[in-house]
Structure 1
Amino acid sequence: MSARIGPAHGRPFSVSPVQHGAVTVAHLTGELDPSTVPTLREAVEPLWERADVAAVVLDAAGVTFCDSTGISALIGIRRQSQAAGKRLVLSGVHGTLARFLTITGLRQAFEIHDSVQQAIRAASPGA
């Protein structure tokens, strides 16, 4: 699977999902804020229903900004993954996203890896 979703409402944000076996990596690019959160949800929510997806890696290396709405969306996505019995992993967390997760104490609520490759290895079935 490879599709690019975005930009939303003229804002510079996109989600580019790529399948790696049973792991889907969603490469996030741009600002994650109230005008772009719907694009993230639209791209990720259908993945929980797919039988060929055991885990989703959200690659945040391309995220240039994240506010509280973006954090709230990530919490919602985490809840959806748990309800679906699938694994959610973040990679490339930096900048405002890293600060928000640290300040709010939510960093421990997410499985986070430095690189996409590390996240794929960790999230692959049997790992």
Structure 2
Amino acid sequence: MSSEATRKSTLSVTSGLSRNAIIIRLEGELDVNALPTLREHLQRIWELPAKSFLILDLGEVSFCDSMGMNELIDIMHRCEARGTRLLLGGVQGVMARVLSITGLRHAFEVFPVFDDALRMAVAPP
């Protein structure tokens, strides 16, 4: 077994609620090793009643591989099925490059500053 396959996740996942949104903050590497941690956290989120918005704060993500991108796409599809708008906040540096290189920049609602995503979620309709 390769050392890569046995490497521990370096991703930290925390979440909170606002009036209209669930906010999930990711910090560290969003890669194949992080998927179990992220999926376990998301399972608890999916069990909650749907909110209007799910905001992923990606400002502290230092690396993202193809498996991490696939997970973001899965989250987007799950949100669409629930009638929830997915907002990606804090998209700069690594995440901005990955979204651009993969051509997925326009598939998501992206905000370079997390607070702008949060303002979108709490703005009156």
Q: Spell out, residue by residue over 1:15-58, the C-alpha distance to the aligned partner (whole angstroms, 9 max, x if none).
A: 11011112111110000110102222222244244226221110
Per the alignment, do residues 52 and 100 of structure 1 end up closer, same or farther by CA in structure 2, a change over 3 Å counting? closer
Q: Which amino acid aligns with 1:38?
A: P
Q: How many aligned residue pairs are there?
A: 119
After the TM superposition, which residues 12-31 of structure 1 pair with which residues of structure 2 at under 5 Å, given as runs? 12-31=10-29
Q: Which amino acid aligns with 1:22?
A: N
> Residue 69 of structure 1: SS of its match in structure 2?
helix
> Residue 105 of structure 1: SS of its match in structure 2?
coil
Q: Spell out, residue by residue over 1:76-119, the C-alpha distance to the aligned partner (whole angstroms, 9 max, x if none).
A: 00000001111110011123322121012100000011222211
Q: Which residue of 2 aligns with 1:78?
A: 76
Counterpart-to-counterpart distance in 2, 1:37 and 1:23:
22
Counterpart-to-counterpart distance in 2, 1:124 and 1:37:
29
Structure 1: which 4+ aligned runs deviate by more than 6 Å?
none
TM-score if structure 2 supplies the norm length? 0.84
The answer for unaligned runs of 5 or more in structure 2 is 1-6
Q: Which amino acid aligns with 1:26?
A: I
- Structure number with larger C-alpha Rg: 2
TM-score if structure 1 supplies the norm length? 0.83
In percent, how many aligned pairs have the same letter? 39
Q: Which residue of 2 aligns with 1:108?
A: 106
Q: Which residue of 2 aligns with 1:69?
A: 67
Q: Which amino acid aligns with 1:105?
A: G
After the TM superposition, which residues 1-127 of structure 1 pair with which residues of structure 2 at under 5 Å, given as runs? 10-51=8-49, 53-124=51-122, 126-127=124-125
Q: Spell out, residue by residue over 1:2-24, the C-alpha distance to the aligned partner (whole angstroms, 9 max, x if none).
A: xxxxxxx6322111101111211
> Residue 97 of structure 1: SS of its match in structure 2?
helix
Counterpart-to-counterpart distance in 2, 1:96 and 1:115:
14
